Amino acid sequence: MKTRSTRIQFDLLVRFPLPCIMTIILCLSFAQRLALAQNEGAATQRPRQSVYAPLLKVPIAARARENPFEGNPLDATAGGKLYSQHCADCHGPKAGGTHYGPSLLREEVQHATPGTIFWILTNGVVWHGMPVWSKLPEPERWQIVTFLESLHPQSGRPANAP
Amino acid sequence: MPQDAVSLTGRRIRCPLARITVASLLCLAFIFFSCASSHAQESPYIVTYDHYLEEPGNLEVEYFSTFGTQRAGNDFHAFWMEFEYGTTAWWTTEFYVDGQTTFSDSTVFTGFRLENRLRLLEHEHWVNPVLYIEYEQTSGADKILKEVEGHDVESDFAEPNSVLRQEHDHELELKLLLSSTFKGWNVALNPIFTKNISPSEPWEFAYALGASHPLAMKALPQRCNFCRENFIAGVEIYGGLGNVRNPGLPNTSHYLAPAVAWNLPSDWTFRLSSGFGLNDNSHRLLLRWGVSREFTGFGEMVRHLFGGRV
pLDDT in tens, B145-159: 998 999 999 999 999
Kindly indicate the confidence band of residue B7, based on its pLDDT and cuts at 50, 70 and 90: very low
**Within this chain, do residues A90 and A27 fall inside the same structural domain, yes or no?**
no
Checking if the pLDDT of A86 tops 70, the result is yes
Min Cα separation A6/chain B (Å): 17
- Residue A108 domain boundaries: 47-151
Task: Provide the chain A residues 114-153 that lie in CB contact (below 8 A) with chain B.
Answer: 122-132, 134-140, 143
Checking if the pLDDT of A39 tops 80, the result is no
Kindly indicate the confidence band of residue B3, based on its pLDDT and cuts at 50, 70 and 90: very low
Domain annotation covers residue B23: no
- Residue B85 domain boundaries: 35-305
Q: For helices B298-305 and A17-39, what crossing angle results, to 10°? A: 110
Q: Compute the mean pLDDT over every residue in chain B, rounded to the nearest whole number.
A: 89
What pLDDT is stored for residue B41 in this prediction?
79
- Judging contacts by C-beta atoms under 8 Å, the chain A residues touching residue B5 are 17
Domain annotation covers residue B12: no
Checking if the pLDDT of A36 tops 60, the result is no
- Over range B168-172, report the average pLDDT: 93
What pLDDT is stored for residue B1 in this prediction?
36
Distances (CA, A) of A1 to A5, A10, A133, B22, B295: 6, 14, 51, 32, 39
**Within this chain, do residues A63 and A123 fall inside the same structural domain, yes or no?**
yes
Distances (CA, A) of B37 to A29, A137, B25, B149: 14, 22, 18, 35
Contact A89 B124 (CB under 8 A): no
Min Cα separation B235/chain A (Å): 17
**Within this chain, do residues A30 and A75 fall inside the same structural domain, yes or no?**
no
Min Cα separation B257/chain A (Å): 21
pLDDT over 90 for what percent of chain A? 56
Task: Provide the chain B residues 79-108 that lie in CB contact (below 8 A) with chain A.
Answer: 86, 88-90
How far apart CA A24 and CA A5 sit, in angstroms, is 18
Four-CA torsion B87, B89, B95, B100, nearest 10 degrees: 160
Kindly indicate the confidence band of residue A44, based on its pLDDT and cuts at 50, 70 and 90: very low
Structural domain count, chain A: 2
CATH number for the domain harbouring residue A85: 1.10.760.10
Domain annotation covers residue A161: no
Contact A38 B310 (CB under 8 A): yes
Checking if the pLDDT of B8 tops 60, the result is no
How far apart CA A141 and CA A24 sit, in angstroms, is 41
Domain annotation covers residue A146: yes
**Within this chain, do residues A76 and A25 fall inside the same structural domain, yes or no?**
no
The pLDDT tens digits of the residues spanning B253-294 come to: 999 999 999 999 888 999 999 999 999 999 999 999 999 998
Domain annotation covers residue A159: no
**Within this chain, do residues A15 and A63 fall inside the same structural domain, yes or no?**
no
Kindly indicate the confidence band of residue A154, based on its pLDDT and cuts at 50, 70 and 90: very low
**Within this chain, do residues A52 and A34 fall inside the same structural domain, yes or no?**
no
Checking if the pLDDT of A59 tops 90, the result is yes
With residue A122 as reference, give the H or E element that holds it. Answer: helix A114-123
CATH number for the domain harbouring residue B200: 2.40.160.40
Residue B30 contacts A where some CB pair is shorter than 8 Å: yes
Kindly indicate the confidence band of residue A118, based on its pLDDT and cuts at 50, 70 and 90: very high
Kindly indicate the confidence band of residue B86, based on its pLDDT and cuts at 50, 70 and 90: very high
What pLDDT is stored for residue B220 in this prediction?
96
**Within this chain, do residues A33 and A103 fall inside the same structural domain, yes or no?**
no
